[in-house]
């Protein structure tokens, strides 16, 4: 009888436990960009002193050096995000700035009680990416782009390839 009461107490003690609500991986994904050599499109190419600035901002989002892959956040409250990509940003004469504009729709998706909602993005088919050189007409350093997927749901895949 004593063992049964002890067993019931243990069962009741553990029946109130819930799974820990920890959110680690389910966040709003960023756009994953890889850079490739235009003369050999299968070879990754590192960018040199790439300064990325969100349109309308004066401070750089980040400066990348010697990497072939970057992540760019998209706005969760607007359907357009524009970035200025300045290659060789530490040079006073050899720098070159291009503008990338992303046009998309947004959807808030419920993940869990711990994570709440995340925003997923769908780049528009006709004008999902727009490349220009309007701000500094010095010639495009980005020679070509290749959109790998319109859906930005996870950061586990490359969304955009840039050739230069």
Nearby residues of 66 by Cβ (< 8 Å), 6 or more positions away:
46, 47, 48
pLDDT of residue 9: 53
Chain-centroid distance of CA 105 in Å reads 15
- Classify residue 16 by its DSSP letter: T
Mean predicted confidence (pLDDT) in 120-147? 83
pLDDT of residue 125: 76
For residue 27 the two structure tokens come to: 């966040």
pLDDT tens track for 144-155: 999 999 999 999
- Max CA distance (Å), the chain: 88
- State how far the Cα of 28 lies from the Cα of 50, in Å rounded to an integer: 24
Specify the DSSP element, H or E, that contains 129.
Answer: strand 129-132
pLDDT tens track for 111-128: 988 889 999 999 997 677
161, 34 contact by CB (below 8 A):
yes
Plot region of 142 (φ>0 → left; ψ -120 to 50 → alpha; else → beta)? beta
- Classify residue 28 by its DSSP letter: P
135, 97 contact by CB (below 8 A):
yes
Least confident piece of the model among 34-48, 64-78, 125-139: 125-139
pLDDT of residue 138: 72
* Residue 157: HSE in the Cβ half-sphere, 13 Å Cα cutoff: 9
- Classify residue 56 by its DSSP letter: T
């Amino acid at each position: 009888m004593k063992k049964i009461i002890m067993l019931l107490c243990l069962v009741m003690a553990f029946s109130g436990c819930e799974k820990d609500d920890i959110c680690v991986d389910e966040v709003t994904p960023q756009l994953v960009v890889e850079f490739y050599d235009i003369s050999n499109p299968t070879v990754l190419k590192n960018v040199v002193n790439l300064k990325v600035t969100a349109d309308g901002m004066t401070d750089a989002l980040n400066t990348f050096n010697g990497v072939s892959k970057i992540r760019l956040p998209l706005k969760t409250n607007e359907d357009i995000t524009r970035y200025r990509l300045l290659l060789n940003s530490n040079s006073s004469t050899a720098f070159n700035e291009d503008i990338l504009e992303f046009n998309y729709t947004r959807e808030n998706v419920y993940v869990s009680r711990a994570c709440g909602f995340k925003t997923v993005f769908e780049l528009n088919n006709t004008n999902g990416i727009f490349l220009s050189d309007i701000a500094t007409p010095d010639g495009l350093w980005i020679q070509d782009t290749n959109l790998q997927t319109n859906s930005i749901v996870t950061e586990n895949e490359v969304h955009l390839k840039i050739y230069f």
